[in-house]
Chain A
Amino acid sequence: NAGVTQTPKFQVLKTGQSMTLQCAQDMNHNSMYWYRQDPGMGLRLIYYSASEGTTDKGEVPNGYNVSRLNKREFSLRLESAAPSQTSVYFCASTFLALSYEQYFGPGTRLTVT
C-alpha cells in the first residue's frame, strides 16, 4: 500500500496563478482532509470530506476550493494564488470510526511569489 500520496511535492507560483494539489489514498478510507502548516501556527484544517460526495469548510477555507473526485481522491484548488498561501499542505485520511488516527501524506511545499 502506498498510503496517502500527494502531488506535486514542490511548487512555485506567481501571484494570481492557479493550481490544483492532488491527493489520493489506497486504504479505503471514508474521510479525507486538507491542512496547511505554517511556522508558529501549527496544522490548520482548510476543508474536509466526511464521505464521498460531501465537503465542508474547516478553519481557514478562504481562497481554496476542493473536489472529492471519488472515494480515493480529494483535490485542493487555489484559483488565484496569494503570497499568504505560501505554506506546506498536507492531505490526510481516516476511517470514520477510528478517526483519531489520521494518516498523512508527505506534503506539498508551495511558495507564492
Chain B
Amino acid sequence: QKEVEQDPGPLSVPEGAIVSLNCTYSNSAFQYFMWYRQYSRKGPELLMYTYSSGNKEDGRFTAQVDKSSKYISLFIRDSQPSDSATYLCAMSAGGGSNYKLTFGKGTLLTVNP
C-alpha cells in the first residue's frame, strides 16, 4: 500500500458547485498535512496546511484532517473556473533537521463556466 493515496480524477464540476477532494494515508507518524495547487505547466504552490487533526478555513477553502481515519479532505465552496488546476495533498512527519514531504498523485479539477 502506498503511503498516500489520492484519486487522480479527473473531476469536472459546474461553476458554483461544492468540490470535495480527498486523500488517505497509511503512515500514522504524519502530523503536517498540506494541499498544494498546481496550474497547468506551472510549479505547485501551497494552498493550505493543517497540523494534526481538525479543520482550517481560508475563504472558500476548508481543509479537514481526521487522523483516526487517516483521511484528509479539501472542500472548495462556490467553485470558480479559476480553481481549475491539479490539487496535490502532501504530508510530513516533521521532526529532525529536515522535513520531507510525501505527495499524493494529484486530482485534476475542471470547473466549467
Contact = CB atoms under 8 A, between A and B. Distances in A.
A74 interface: no
Contacts, number: 59
Interface residues of B, number: 23
Interface in A81-113: 90, 92, 94, 96, 99-107
A48 B105 CA distance: 20
Interface in A28-83: 31, 40-45, 48, 50-51, 56, 58
A40 B8 CA distance: 8
B60 interface: no
Mostly helix, strand, loop or mixed at chain B's interface? loop
Contact of B43 (A42, A100, A107): A107
Contacts of B49: 100-101
B72 to A, nearest CB: 13
Interface in B79-112: 88, 90, 92, 97-101, 103-106
A48 B100 contact: yes
B42 A100 contact: no
Interface string B28-64: 0000101000000111111001000000000000000
Given A100-B49, A104-B45, A107-B43, A50 B97 contact: yes
For chain A, the bracket of interface size reads 20 to 34
Contacts of B46: 100-102
B9 to A, nearest CB: 12
A101 to B, nearest CB: 5
Interface of B: 6, 8, 32, 34, 41-46, 49, 88, 90, 92, 97-101, 103-106
